[in-house]
Each structure stands twice: as structure tokens, then as C-alpha cells.
């Protein structure tokens, strides 16, 4: 069934109101009719199976047939901090990160970034990136639409990342621990929390400088390696998230 996201206030008295582009998509693009069913998520990890009842010029109404908790969200909140990559690589990073369970995506500038954020274009870029996250959330059956935030400095990214219950700094230099080993060691403590937070900091094509790596260590982030091979920046986030999925979600050991 087609999947859509609405605000909680659009769910009232057993009826869901779908607005804007989604309403147009249901009525014009999909050419759905009364009696057909859709799935609607309310951004609060609730989902509703609904039967379409009425098509109005600016909205579509649907009757709630069944309400259930969304079971596609991970039992943790992963925050991906991605240094700005070149070209359109960030589109792929966002799409795959959402598919792999990221809860938020924060871009940042590091020393070796070729691309720099431009203030006059940032709002439009963030809006476009959020649309990519929305489409990926629909496609992958997510219960929320992960937020994509405006670009921040490296210092700000580290300051935000260190607030997580587990803060990981992906680094190809010396002094790292293997990511699977860190996750295995920290698993028991993390799983005692209702929704533990895990931050993952990823560099750009050139990686991080020694100064940045030391800043991250001083802030309390754990330098982790992603295996013996060097991953592209557009691959690293989804690889790290997949490790999280395995150790903290799929590996149901006591």
C-alpha cells in the first residue's frame, strides 16, 4: 500500500486528512478511488491503515481502519554527521542513511572539504535534502522522516556529537578500535536505555586532519575503524549504520 506521512493534528476522530502534494499524488498521480487503502504515519511512530473516503480540491480524507505501532524504527537513535562531499554524493548519503535507520543527518565543514556551504543557498539546499529524506522514508517503510539539518562547523559538529550516549569518530588513521568491537562492548549499556543515541562522524573525500582527529579524541569521541579497506565517503555512513543494525537491532542476544 502507498505510504504517506502527516502531522499528528491531521489525525482526528477516526479520520486522517492528507494535504498538499501527497493529496495531489493520491488523487491525480496514483488515481486512487474511494475504498482503496493507504498507510499513514503520524511522525510519532504510529501508523494507520486507512480507507480513502473523500476527495476534495485541496485534501483527501481517509477513515482509519487499524492503528498500530510502527515496527520499522530501530531501538536507538542514530545521528549521522557527514562532512560535505563533492558533487551529488550527499544525495546518496542521505537516501541510504535513511534506509539504514538514521534518525537525523547533520552536515558539516571540515578542513579537507572541497565544497563549502553558502549562506544564500543553504535554506534551499536543506529543503531539497529533506525531500530526499522524505522519499527515502516512504520507500523504506520508516515510521518517521529523519531531519536533515543545516550545515555546521566541524567544532559544532563535534560538540553536538559528543552529547550522544555513544559517540563514534570514523577514522582511517592510527589509534582506532574496530567498530564491531566497540559496539559489542557498549551494547549492554546502550540497551538498558529506552532509546539510546549513537552519533557517527564521517569525513569528506580527504578524511580528517590529525588536528581534527585529536580534537575529536579530546572531546570524548571514540575513533573507530571501518575495516581494512578504505571506504568512499558516500559509503561510510551506510556501512557504519549497517553495523549498528546488526549489533543493536538484528542480533537479539541477551
Distance CA 227, CA 77 (A): 23
Mean pLDDT, the chain, rounded, equals: 93
Distance CA 246, CA 254 (A): 14
Q: What's the chain's Rg over C-alpha atoms?
A: 20
Condensed to tens digits (0 to 9), the pLDDT of residues 27-64 reads 989 999 999 999 999 988 899 999 999 999 999 999 99
Is residue 86 located within the same domain as residue 19?
Answer: no
pLDDT grade for 253, boundaries at 50, 70 and 90: low
Q: Say how many domains are in the chain.
A: 2
Same structural domain, 113 and 191: yes
Q: Give residue 12's domain range.
A: 3-69
Helical spans, DSSP H, in the chain? 20-24, 89-99, 119-140, 154-161, 179-190, 210-219, 233-244
- Do 33 and 60 fall into the same domain? yes
Query: Roughly how many angstroms between the first and final C-alpha of the chain, as a whole number?
Result: 35
Last residue of a domain, one of 35, 52, 69: 69
User: 211 and 89, same structural domain?
Assistant: yes
54 and 136, same domain (yes or no):
no
Mark whether 11 and 133 lie in a shared domain: no
- CATH number of the domain bearing residue 219: 3.40.1280.10
- How is residue 193 annotated by DSSP? S
Length of the chain: 254
Q: Which position has the higher pLDDT, 115 or 215?
A: 215
Q: Are strands 197-202 and 166-170 parallel, antiparallel or unpaired?
A: parallel
The pTM assigned to this predicted structure is 0.90
Quickly state the pLDDT bin for 251 (edges 50, 70, 90): confident
Whether residue 85 sits in one domain with residue 54 = no
| Cα gap 235→93, rounded to integer Å | 7
9 lies in the same domain as 83: no
Domain match, 92 and 16 both: no
Say if residue 102 is in the same domain as residue 48. Answer: no
Q: Is the pLDDT of residue 254 over 50?
A: no
Query: How wide is the angle at C-alpha 131 spanned by C-alphas 130 and 132, nearest 5°?
Result: 90
pLDDT at residue number 117: 82
The last residue of a domain, from among 50, 69, 88: 69
What pairing do the DSSP bridges indicate for beta strands 59-69 and 46-56? antiparallel
pLDDT value of residue 175: 87
Position 120 scores a pLDDT of: 74
Neighbours of 56 (CB within 10 A): 10
pLDDT tens digits for range 56-86: 999 999 999 999 998 899 999 999 999 999 9
| Statement to judge: residues 89 and 189 lie in one domain | yes
Based on the fold, state whether residues 164 and 64 are members of the same structural domain.
no
* pLDDT band of 116, cuts 50, 70, 90: confident
Question: Where is the domain boundary, 18, 38, 69?
Answer: 69
Q: What is the CATH number of the domain that holds 30?
A: 2.40.240.20
Amino acid at each position: 500500500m502507498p505510504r504517506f506521512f502527516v502531522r499528528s493534528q491531521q489525525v482526528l476522530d477516526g479520520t486522517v486528512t492528507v494535504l498538499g502534494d501527497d493529496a495531489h499524488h493520491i488523487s491525480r498521480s496514483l488515481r486512487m478511488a474511494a475504498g482503496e487503502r493507504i498507510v499513514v504515519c503520524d511522525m510519532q511512530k504510529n501508523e494507520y491503515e486507512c480507507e480513502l473516503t473523500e476527495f476534495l480540491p485541496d485534501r483527501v480524507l481517509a477513515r482509519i481502519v487499524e492503528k498500530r505501532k510502527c515496527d520499522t524504527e530501530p531501538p536507538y537513535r542514530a545521528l549521522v554527521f557527514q562532512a560535505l562531499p563533492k558533487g551529488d554524493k550527499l544525495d546518496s548519503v542521505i537516501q541510504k542513511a535513511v534506509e539504514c535507520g538514521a534518525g537525523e543527518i547533520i552536515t558539516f565543514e571540515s578542513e579537507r572539504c572541497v565544497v563549502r556551504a553558502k549562506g544564500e543557498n543553504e535554506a534551499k539546499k536543506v529543503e531539497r535534502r529533506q525531500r530526499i529524506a522524505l522519499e527515502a522514508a516512504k520507500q523504506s517503510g520508516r515510521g518517521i522522516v529523519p531531519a536533515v539539518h543545516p550545515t555546521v562547523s566541524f567544532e559544532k559538529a563535534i560538540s553536538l556529537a559528543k552529547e550522544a550516549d555513544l559517540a563514534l569518530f570514523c577514522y582511517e588513521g592510527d589509534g582506532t578500535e574496530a567498530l564491531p568491537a566497540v559496539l559489542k562492548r557498549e551494547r549492554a549499556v546502550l540497551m538498558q536505555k529506552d532509546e539510546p543515541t549513537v552519533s557517527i562522524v564521517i569525513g569528506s573525500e580527504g578524511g580528517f586532519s590529525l588536528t581534527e582527529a585529536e580534537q575529536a579524541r579530546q572531546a570524548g569521541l571514540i575513533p573507530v575503524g571501518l575495516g581494512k579497506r578504505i571506504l568512499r565517503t558516500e559509503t561510510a555512513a551506510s556501512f557504519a549504520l549497517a553495523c549498528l543494525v546488526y549489533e543493536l537491532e538484528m542480533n537479539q542476544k541477551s
